[in-house]
Amino acid sequence: MPRHEVVSPIPGVFYRRPDPDSPPFVEDGGAVAADQAVGLVEVMKSFHQVAAGAEGTLVEFLVGDEDEVDAGQPVAVVETG
Amino acid sequence: MTGTIEVRKPGLSTTVQDGGRPGYYHLGIPPSGGLDQYSLAAANLLVGNDPGAAALEIVYLGPELLFTAPATVAVAGATMQPRVNGEDRPLWESFDVAEGDVLDFGYLTAGARAYLAVGGGVDVPEVLGSRSTYGLGGLGGFSGRPLAEGDVLPLGGGTGRAGLVVPDDLRRSMSKDVEVRVVMGLYDHRLTDKGRATFLDTTWQLTPVADRIGFRYTGAELETVDREPPFGAGQDPSNIVDAPYPIGSIQVPGGVEPIVLHRDAVSGGGYMMVATVVSCDLDVVAQSAPRTRTRFVEVDLDGALAARAEQRDRARRLREALG
């Protein structure tokens, strides 16, 4: 299966949930659409959604909830096709 | 011929910045301007502008911009691949764009802030002698705020030429490990010897709480001298009787997480400032992305002035190289 890496376009803190009381955007193994958010990155006191970028199955997160990430760092893997 | 730039995507927080708006800090209006003044100057000189002309400061994520007329442009500062209609263009080098061309950027790979200068400059109105955006005050720049999708930026008339290059030795180097020179004071007497040593010996890490107002670091807790709080100061050991905050001053609320105030800083408050970053190293702070490992290195006033003289010499060589 082709693997698509979901990349954070910005540096910051990666969150898997829209807010602390909500379920994650996507569970491991969940189906995602290309424009669907898989997480948030917080930087400069604001939050930015990271979209899957490809339709398929989100097989793996490469960073943990609340990990700091760099710009261009892969945060998850989507299997497509 | 003068044209415009249409903002198709704004990036994260793209603002018009120039050499700054000095002279009003005593009224609460900070200097603003490009946080990395050296890279701003390099981009401007590449396109034939004055070093302090109005350009775009791009932080972390680049915008997507449509040019409605031919222009000469240059990008300096953070490493963020410029592309015209999808084709790579060089950094630290001027190049032409044609009417209808779209300029966008790849991911940030080093540094934090890139400067996009356009021949003739970005022609927003001057406010108090500067075109810089002060976002907190809604002042200057384009409508006093970061760019938004659909904005149309007027350009001044310019006569830049493509193919000018900043020599390698005059490009700002970018690193995830930086040293920032500081002069200790004015409130370092609030620290014990141990607290002072901790401040200078710790490798601090920049947090994601870092913007044009201030840069917050994490790494250690500073020990403070016990005292009875003076009248007018709060109970926390880091509180002082309210005082003016110099640009570059490092305040340490609660003795943890030092904050370096930058060019959009608030002008005063009640936290001890243990040191102040020498002015030319504010550029180094500006190019720090979150997780940058930072050492604060003490210099005396002579050392600070020597650093400033060195920076001025470098700026002079830059002007000569691009003149």
Angle (deg, nearest 10), helices B301-322 and B37-46: 10
Q: Break chain B into its structural domains and give their ranges.
A: 4-170, 177-313
**What would the pLDDT profile of B141-162 be if each residue is shown by its tens digit?**
999 999 999 999 999 988 789 9
Its domain, for residue A73, covers 3-79
Give the closest residue to B112 by CA, choosing from B284, B237, B322. Answer: B284
**What would the pLDDT profile of B206-265 be if each residue is shown by its tens digit?**
999 999 999 999 999 999 999 998 888 888 999 999 999 999 999 999 999 999 999 999
Locate B26 and state its tokens.
Answer: 């005593």
Cβ atoms B58, A71 nearer than 8 A: no
Provide the pLDDT for residue A81.
76
Q: Which residues contact B1 (CB under 8 A, 6 or more apart)?
A: B69, B70, B157
Please provide the DSSP assignment of A48-72 as one string: EEEE--S-EEEEEESS-TT-EE-TT
Cβ atoms B297, B203 nearer than 8 A: no
Q: Does B64 touch chain A (CB under 8 A)?
A: no
How close A67 gets to chain B, by Cα (Å)?
11
The overall average pLDDT reported for chain B is 96
Provide the pLDDT for residue B202.
98
Mean pLDDT of B116-137: 97
Neighboring chain B residues of A9 at a CB cutoff of 8 Å: 61, 107
**What would the pLDDT profile of B252-303 be if each residue is shown by its tens digit?**
999 999 999 999 999 999 999 999 999 999 999 999 999 999 999 999 999 9
Tell me the HSE value of B257 on the side-chain side, using a 13 A CA sphere.
9
Q: Which of A15, A40, A43, A70 to probe the B interface (max B CBs under 10 A)?
A: A43
Mean pLDDT of A55-74: 95
CB B107 to CB A43 under 8 A? no
On the question of pLDDT at B1 being above 70, the answer is: no
CB A44 to CB B59 under 8 A? yes
Q: Does B78 touch chain A (CB under 8 A)?
A: no
Q: Which residues contact B27 (CB under 8 A, 6 or more apart)?
A: none
Neighboring chain B residues of A68 at a CB cutoff of 8 Å: 208, 290-291
Provide the pLDDT for residue B318.
97
Cβ atoms B33, B135 nearer than 8 A: no
Q: Which residues contact B39 (CB under 8 A, 6 or more apart)?
A: B76, B77, B78, B113, B114, B115, B172, B283, B287
Q: Which of B15, B61, B64, B288 to probe the A interface (max A CBs under 10 A)?
A: B61
Neighboring chain A residues of B109 at a CB cutoff of 8 Å: 71-72
Cβ atoms B41, B51 nearer than 8 A: yes
Interface of B with A in 208-227 (CB under 8 A): 208-211
**What would the pLDDT profile of A2-52 be if each residue is shown by its tens digit?**
999 999 999 999 999 999 999 999 999 999 999 999 999 999 888 999 999
CB A68 to CB B13 under 8 A? no
Other residues' Cβ atoms within 10 Å of the Cβ of residue B159 = 9
Question: Environment class of residue B30 by beta-carbon count within 10 Å: exposed (0-12), middle (13-18) or buried (19+)?
Answer: buried
Provide the pLDDT for residue B302.
98
Cβ atoms B241, B232 nearer than 8 A: yes
Q: What's B177-313's CATH class?
A: mainly beta
How close B136 gets to chain A, by Cα (Å)?
13
> For chain A, what is the domain count?
1
Pairing of strands A12-15, A68-69: antiparallel
The beta strands (E) that lie in B159-303 are given as 177-184, 204-210, 214-218, 239-244, 249-251, 259-261, 268-271, 273-277, 293-298
How close B120 gets to chain A, by Cα (Å)?
30
Interface of A with B in 12-71 (CB under 8 A): 12-13, 42-45, 48, 68, 70-71
CB A71 to CB B208 under 8 A? no
**What would the pLDDT profile of B36-92 be if each residue is shown by its tens digit?**
999 999 999 999 999 999 999 999 999 999 999 999 999 999 999 999 999 999 999
The dihedrals phi and psi of B267, each to the nearest 5 degrees, come to: -90, -5
Cβ atoms B20, B126 nearer than 8 A: no
Locate B294 and state its tokens.
Answer: 């930072």
Q: Select from A10, A70, A72 the Cβ nearest to the Cβ of B12.
A: A10
Planar angle of CA B270, B258, B308, nearest 5 degrees: 95
Q: Is the peptide bond preceding residue B186 cis, with omega within 30 degrees of 0?
A: yes
Nearest CA in chain B to A7: B107
Region of residue B191 (phi > 0: left; psi between -120 and 50: alpha; otherwise: beta):
beta
CB B108 to CB A71 under 8 A? yes
Pairing of strands A31-32, A68-69: unpaired
Q: Which secondary structure element, helix H or strand E, spans residue B319, and what is its range?
A: helix B301-322
Please provide the DSSP assignment of B31-59 as one string: --S-SSHHHHHHHHHHTT--TT--EEEEE
CATH number at residue A15: 2.40.50.100
Q: Does A10 touch chain B (CB under 8 A)?
A: yes
